[in-house]
Chain A
Amino acid sequence: GENVEQHPSTLSVQEGDSAVIKCTYSDSASNYFPWYKQELGKRPQLIIDIRSNVGEKKDQRIAVTLNKTAKHFSLHITETQPEDSAVYFCAARPSLGGGATNKLIFGTGTLLAVQP
């Protein structure tokens, strides 16, 4: 079945440094790749997403890159701040022809700790 692998599971950086989280997906026809941020005890919130016809997307300090050939995509956070500390989930939307659904397949999450 569809699978999304996410690395690393934990990431600790100093404030001001960059953080990179990587995900790989199994379904080559996947066409949508969102990233969610979940603070402790709260709901996941969409922070950025990218569709399969785009290679990179930026929103202020956050960027996502997609390599369809290698079937991986990455989240880049620059100039990290303590409030960036949270769990980040990647996801992919498989596209399996007539059997496609709108459900997302999630990675296992990355706990990012930004040290002041």
Chain B
Amino acid sequence: DGGITQSPKYLFRKEGQNVTLSCEQNLNHDAMYWYRQDPGQGLRLIYYSQIVNDFQKGDIAEGYSVSREKKESFPLTVTSAQKNPTAFYLCASNSGDRRGYGYTFGSGTRLTVV
């Protein structure tokens, strides 16, 4: 069953702590993305990667970091420099050609600062 898996579903972070959100896909997609969604708001792009070992900043990259060492995996680290990290985080992927411009989204991780 192909898809994109995010874990954990819920995550609690203490002040000053780094946390890492996992995103894994078995769709053989080249491109992967991280979005942040605040309550009642739209989707804001944090980072994206079009190919392994390459990634670019999105609109709100400050306080976040990513890696893309494997095609299947695109973890997001929320660092202590991100002052307001409480949000719903969505990972997405798509293929790099006309067969699949549309995104497949993961089920999301809800991060809360405690």
A: which residues have CB within 8 A of B? 32, 34, 36, 41-46, 49, 89, 93, 101-104, 106-109, 111
B64 within 8 A of A: no
User: Which A residues are CB-close (under 8 A) to B56?
Assistant: 101
When the two chains form their complex, are residues B101 and A43 in contact, meaning their CB atoms are under 8 A apart? no
When the two chains form their complex, are residues B50 and A101 in contact, meaning their CB atoms are under 8 A apart? yes
Min CB–CB distance A107 → chain B (angstroms): 7
| Alpha-carbon distance A41/B9, docked complex (angstroms) | 11
Beyond A102-B101, A103-B31, 11 additional contacts (C-beta under 8 Å) are A34-B101, A34-B102, A44-B43, A49-B101, A89-B43, A101-B50, A102-B31, A104-B103, A109-B41, A109-B42, A109-B43
When the two chains form their complex, are residues B107 and A93 in contact, meaning their CB atoms are under 8 A apart? no
A103 touches which of B33, B42, B106, B108 (Cβ 8 Å): B33
Min CB–CB distance A94 → chain B (angstroms): 11
Most interface-central of A42, A43, A93, A111 (chain B CB within 10 A): A43
B: which residues have CB within 8 A of A? 30-31, 33, 40-43, 45, 48, 50, 56, 88, 90, 94-96, 101-108
| Alpha-carbon distance A46/B43, docked complex (angstroms) | 15
User: Which B residues are CB-close (under 8 A) to A42?
Assistant: 107-108
Min CB–CB distance B6 → chain A (angstroms): 9
